[in-house]
A and B are shown apart, each in its own frame.
Chain A
């Protein structure tokens, strides 16, 4: 009986040990400790090692040699930033009080967008703004809207007003060039105006553990039409450049699947991993891709979405000199072709 009671008394102790047996390592606040903490956060949470064929252990070996406990914060930041560049990921940033590391793919490509040119020579400064959307009528009875950031929440009422005021146009250009992303639900709110039935939008997954290949089952999701709201059923062209990133990349990948929509411009900037944030003992924060989003065909669009067939086009210098936007001009042609085909 006494032995039994002893066993019972040990149960709470065992429970504490069971529940807390997972060791969470602590790193020192020195260059070596901060470097190791950064490497470990990415090692346990980053979601594209295999997709990008990155040997993270080899990366550690290479950059660990550059760590010296006498180095300054700026020197440590440079080494850590260079290590993160190996991931080729626009969602991965190291943030310190004096700098933010970045891999912004659009810096390696033509910008393909000049806001002033659009406002002055296409809209003639005659346009309206509602929440984050600038909109107006262009020549050839074409409507135009520029959504500069999906961080700007657009309301259903805003969209009703915008689409109603543009309803006499024969086609619509949605310009998401230089839209670096934001909130995914804003992108869905916009998509919902161009569909009459639920459409599959893609799949989402997440890491389930620290191993590089520990992922959940992909979860299919769809977008519902905005019932009882103003819809647009006429031809649509979406304009893109390499700065169309993250949530915008997702928006373009969904719009591309719609029958009445064409994508014109450059490949989007990608960024299909939902970013999480961690931090180092010295207080620097690090953002990284943690949860991959796949397109409707189950493909990752981390390196961008291609324009529709025959619609990839860069702005030419000659057009720019002539105050013409090559991508916009191509959009007019595509809209005319779509109208003719209907």
Chain B
């Protein structure tokens, strides 16, 4: 039991870390908010002045903003779908006793350790390249015209690349969840007349619900800010076809040098992320209770 004294002491001792973290967050945030209300373009130094809501109006009425929003949601949703479904299937496979289990598991986890820029480059040049890529070679082998993934299905391609690097994470979490499933429960279900599919639907999936929520929550946080894969492969294009919010903010700030506009975009992204977070935390909180 914590007494009043120990609580006070604990708060006192935690305060340096908390204050540091708070400053770490609050200073950049307030600077961004300040910049977002400024007319601040790096190409026109010395003309900084108070701009009011102009930057926000400009950013929110930009047609690129809406496609970026849609792309962000599609990217996050697509990657979540692929990693959760794929993670469950891989988890089920890896849960079986097989020869060379340890090596197979390491191989499956490996993509997670590849840096985003590197994995995107590998995919771009070695797999999806319409001339030299592996997919093009396979297409030609069967007599089809090679498909230029990054030009014709840019968002899909980026989704695949990101999903590839996040699949191991989902697999790992779901595999450990699978391993914690009581084997007597499966046996009981078997004796109750449930076939493999029924066991999966009625026993395994409900058992995995918690782990799946954790995967969704953690991945969403990171996937809202996917950037490197887009920069390396499509540069947000063609047009705005693979531009997400993060990339839009980047292009605003460092391609058109409009710091004020980019800051406004950044603040909008923060607000959107928080809306998503509130919903997610509610759902997850409900699921993690009991």
To the question of whether A and B form a pair in one complex, the answer is no
| Residues of B in contact with A (beta carbons under 8 Å apart) | none
